[in-house]
Amino acid sequence: MRELFPEIEPYRTHRLAVDDLHELHIEECGNPDGLPVVFLHGGPGAGVSPYHRRFFDPKRYRIVLFDQRGAGKSTPHAELRNNTTQHLVADIETIREHFDIEHWVVFGGSWGSTLALAYSQAHPERTLGLVLRGIFLGRPGELRWFQELDGGARWIFPERWARYLAHIPEAEHDNLTEAYWRRLDSDDPEVRLAAAQAWGYWEGGSTTLIHDPDEAGNFEQPQVAISVARAEAHYFRHQVFLQPDQLLRDVDRIRQIPATIVQGRYDIICPAKSAIDLAAAWPEAELKIVLAGHSAADPAIVDALVTATDALADRFVTAR
C-alpha cells in the first residue's frame, strides 16, 4: 500500500485578489520546476490542510493549493456574495494565468471532484490530466441522499442523523437544507454557530470506513464549521449552480484527457453510483473502487491517489 509523501512546507504563499471583494490564499509546494498540479479542496468551504500537499511527489510536482472563496485563509471569511461554481472555475483559471502555467494536472475530491469536472470541461485545453476522488456530480438525488428525510444516508448512520434532525423543529422537516440555511444566515452569531456545528457533526463524522457515532468529526472548529456549513447550504440550495446532469452531459469535452476516478465502495456521503455513472459516460477513464469510505485519509484511498499521481508524473515528466 502506498502512503502519503512526507510532510512539506510551502516554498511560497500568495494573496490574490480575484474581484473587489474576494482575496484568495494560495500555496506553492514541491519543485518550482516540476509538473504543475492544482489541488481543489472539498466542502465547499472546507479549505486546504497540510496533508493535502502530500498526495504528490514533491520532487516531481509543482503543487498549487488554494482556499476557495470564503474558505480557510481566504477573505472575507464565509462570504457568499459572488460565490458560485462559475466564480470558482474562473478563479482556477485566474490562478493558472497568474502563475503563467500553460497547462496542469487537476486533482479534486468530493466537492473538489465537482469543481475539477466543471473546470476541465470549461478549459479542456489547460487540463493535462485528472485525478478525482469521491465523485459528487451535484445532481438533485445526490443532494437529497445525504441532507433530506427522503434520502438514504439516515438509514446508515441513524445515531448521527438523529442529532442532525433534532436541531430543526418537526414543522420544518420537509426541507432540512432550507431550515438549516435560515439559521446559518441568522443575524445571531450563537444561532449560526449552533447550526453549523450540528451540520458539521452530521457530515464531518460520516467520512471514514470505520465509523464511531460519537466521533466529533473534522469540522468541529467554529471557524471551519461556519465556513463549511454556510457554503454547503448556499451551494446545495442552488443545486450547486449547475444544470441537472450537466457534468455527465459535457463529459465528451474531456474524454481525451487521462483520468483516474477513485471511489470508496462504502462512501456514504458520495455513494459509488455517481462514480459508476461517470465512468459509464467516460469509458477511457480508469475507475478504481476500493475498500474505503469517503475520507481521503482512508488507507485504500491514499494508495490509489498516490498511485494515480505518480502515474501522471511518470507520463508527463518523462515527456518534458
CATH number at residue 134: 3.40.50.1820
Does one domain contain both 126 and 165?
Answer: no
Residue 315: the pLDDT is 95
Residue 6 lies in a domain: no
Note whether 56 and 128 are same-domain residues.
yes
Going 179 to 180 to 185 to 186, the CA torsion angle's sign is positive
The ranges of the chain with pLDDT < 70 are: 218, 319-320
The answer to whether residue 5 sits within a structural domain is no
What is the predicted pLDDT for the residue at 218? 67
* Same domain flag for 83 and 175: no
Closest C-alpha to 66, from 96, 30, 34, 104: 96
Those residues whose C-beta lies under 8 Å from the C-beta of residue 73, and which sit 6 or more positions away, are: 25, 47, 67
pLDDT digits (tens, 9 = 90+) for 40-68: 999 999 999 999 999 999 999 999 999 99
Domain co-membership, 54 together with 31: yes
Q: What is the pLDDT of residue 293?
A: 96
Q: How many domains does the chain have?
A: 2
Q: What is the per-residue pLDDT for 173?
A: 98
Which H or E run includes 262? strand 259-264
Judge whether 4 lies within some domain.
no
pTM: 0.96
Expressed as residue numbers, the domain containing 276 is 12-139+241-319
| Whether residue 192 sits in one domain with residue 165 | yes
Determine the pLDDT at residue 233.
98
The CA-to-CA distance between both ends of the chain, in Å, stands at: 28
Question: Do 66 and 108 lie in a common domain?
Answer: yes
Q: 3-state class of 281 per DSSP?
A: helix
Confidence at residue 319, expressed as pLDDT on a 0 to 100 scale: 53
Asked whether residue 120 falls in the same domain as residue 248, the answer is: yes
68 shares a domain with 195: no
What's the confidence (pLDDT) of residue 215? 76
Element (H, E) at 95: helix 85-98
Query: What's residue 290's pLDDT?
Result: 98
Give the span between the Cα atoms of 64 and 75, in whole angstroms: 18
- Determine whether 189 is exposed, middle or buried from the number of CB atoms within 10 Å of its CB (0-12, 13-18, 19+): exposed
| Domain endpoint, select from 239, 274, 291 | 239
Tell me, yes or no, whether 226 and 101 share the same domain. no
Cα Rg, the chain, nearest whole Å: 19
Same domain membership, residue 115 and residue 259 = yes
Q: Are residues 260 and 151 in the same domain?
A: no
Contact predicate 5/55, CB 8 Å: yes
pLDDT at 137: 98
> Looking at the annotation, which residues are catalytic?
110, 267, 294
122 and 186 share one domain: no
